[in-house]
Structure 1
Amino acid sequence: MGLKTFTKSILCGTLLAVGVLNVNAQGKLYIIGPATEAGWNPGKSVSMLSDAGDANVFKATVYLKANEEFKFLTEPEFTKIEYRAKSADDVEVTPGVAKDITAVQGDAEDYKFHVTESGNYDISCDLGTNVMLINKSAYQDTNVNYAALWLIGNACDAGWDLGKAPIMPQDPSKPYVYSGVYNLNAGELKFTISPNAGFDDSAYYFSNPNDPGKMEFGTAGDHKWNITEAGPYRITANVADMTISFVKDSSAGISSVETGKDAPAEYFTLSGVKVTNPTAGVYVKRQGGKSVKVVLK
C-alpha cells in the first residue's frame, strides 16, 4: 500500500469515527422541510421525542404534505449532521415499509424524503440501526403540526429561558393532546411550539381573554394563564378543540424522603409521563404514596 493510499485510509477511518461519535452523541432529532409546518426554517423544525425505552429511537406524530420534501436535523441548523435518504431512488416513502436513513454533513447527496398522500403520520427513526418507519396515524380529523409544546413564563422554574423550558409531550394515543405534571409557581405562562425559534420568530398557544379554559394560537396576542397558587399541576392541552385544563395534582409532589419501600414502585419522566421499563436516566419514582427524584444507571 502506497503512502498516499495509506494516509487516505487513515483519514477516512478517523472521519468515520468522529462522525459516528457525533451522531450517537446528539440526543436530538428534528423534522424539517416544506412537507411540515416549519418549511425550511430550522428554528421552527418539528422536535421529535426520544423513546423512554431506547435513547436511539425518536418518535413524532405530525402532518406531512404530499409530494413535499422533508429530512431530519440533529441540531436546529443546517451545518450539523443530518439524516437523509441514501439515494435518489429512496426518497419516496411507503407507509409501513422500513426505510434506510443515512447520516450526512454538507450539501452533497441531499436526498430528501416525501410521502405521496397528505395526512398525519406516526414517524419513528432509530439512529442505532439507521432505519425510519412511517405509518398513517389512526387520527386524521385535524392536522397535527407539532410533536410537543414547551411551557414558558415566570410560573415555571425556568422562567422565560427557552433553552430550559419544560416540554409537554403528545399523548401517544391522542396526538392532538399534550399533557404532563409540572411544579408551578404563582405567576403566568403560555406555550411555545419551539424552544429554538426565539421569541420573535415562534408562534404560541395562549389564553383566550374571555375564557381561560380555551386557547388561542398565533404570533399576535399575548394573553397568558395566571397561576394563583403554587404547586404541582396536571396540564392538558387539546389543540383539536383548543381547550386546556390545569388540575392540582397532590400526588405529584417530589419529596426528599422515601417511605413505603415494600409498595410497588412506579417511574415517571420529569414531565409526568409514566415509564413502564425505565432505562438509565433521571426519573420521578413513586412508591408507597411518596415520590422522589432518582437517577438510574
Structure 2
Amino acid sequence: MNIKNIISILSGLLMLVALTGCEGEKDLIIIDGNLPIKTSTLYMVGDATPNGWSLDAATALTPTDEDPLVFSWEGPLNVGEMKLCLATGSWDNPFIRPQNAGEEINKKGLTDETFKMHAGDPDDKWKVSEAGIYNLRFDLRNWTMSATYVREQDAPVIDPIVADALYIVGDFNGWNIDSPTQLEKKSDYIFVYEGPLTSGEMKACLTTGSWDASFIRPETNGCRIDRNGVESGNFVYSVNPDNKWKIEEPGIYRLTFDLQNWTIAAEYTGDFKPAPKLYMIGEATDGGWSWDAATVIEASSENENIFVWEGELGRGSFKASEEKDFGAPFYRPSTPD
C-alpha cells in the first residue's frame, strides 16, 4: 500500500469521527478565554491597604452570596499601591494584577476592568491616587474588577499615646530600626530630640526591631521640615500608609512630639556639617584614655553621617568625640553604662 492510499484512508476516518462527534455531542461548550479562578480565599496587600505589605496580615475579601467566585470588600484605602493573592505565606505565589501597570483607583472608579494573574515580574500593581472608603469587587469567573468610591475616610480618633520611649529613624541614621535614635522624655506625653538631621526622610516609633509596628507619621507623605519649621504640625499613628517627613535642609533641629495631642514642632537651631572623623577613647579601647592613641573611626562611603568601626574591644567604658579635647562634646549613651 503506497503512502497516498494511507493518507486517503486516514482522512476518511478523521471525517467519520468528526461527523459522529457532531451528532453525539450537540451540547458541547467551547470555552473562549481564561478559565475561572477557583479559590475560596482572596487577599490584598500593599501600602494602600489597611495592613500594608504584611503578607501574614493581608486584608481578606469575602465571597458574595450570589457567586462564590465573586469577592467584595468595603473599607479604607490609602494613597499607595496594591495587588491581590489567593493565599498568604509566600511572595512567590501568583498575584492578581492590573492589565496595565499603575492603573489608578480614584474617585472616578473602575468598572469591569480586566486583570491578569502571574508570579514574578513584571510586578504590576494598582495605584490608589485618592484616599477614601472604597467598595472593591473582583470577579474571578470573568477576570474583571470594579472599584467604587463611597466617601471620605473617617477622621482619626486622637487618643493619648502612652509610651515609655520614642525613637526616630530615617536617612540621618541609616534606617537602622534595631538602633533608632531615642528622644528625651520631658513629661508623660512630651518627647524631644535635639541634634543633627541630614537631608532625607524620617518617621517615629515606640519600639525597636520591627518595621511591621505602627509608626508616628505625617498626615501626608513628604511633609517638609526645614528652616521654617514643619509644614504641618499634625501627625497620625498607624501601620499605613508609609508616610514620612522630608528633611529639606540639613542642620541642627529641635523636634518636639506631643503624644497627647498628636502634634509635632520643629525648630531649626543651627547649621550642621558632618564630622571628618571620630575619635574613640576609653579603657575598652587599645589606646585607653590617650588622645595620641585614640581609635579613629571613619565615615561610611555610603553615608557621610554614618561612622563605622570594627575591631576588638576589651572590658571597660568608652566614648567618642569629634575633637581630641576632653573639654569638647562627646557622643555618649542615652543612659549610663
- TM-score, length-normalised on structure 2? 0.39
* TM-score (normalizing by structure 1): 0.44
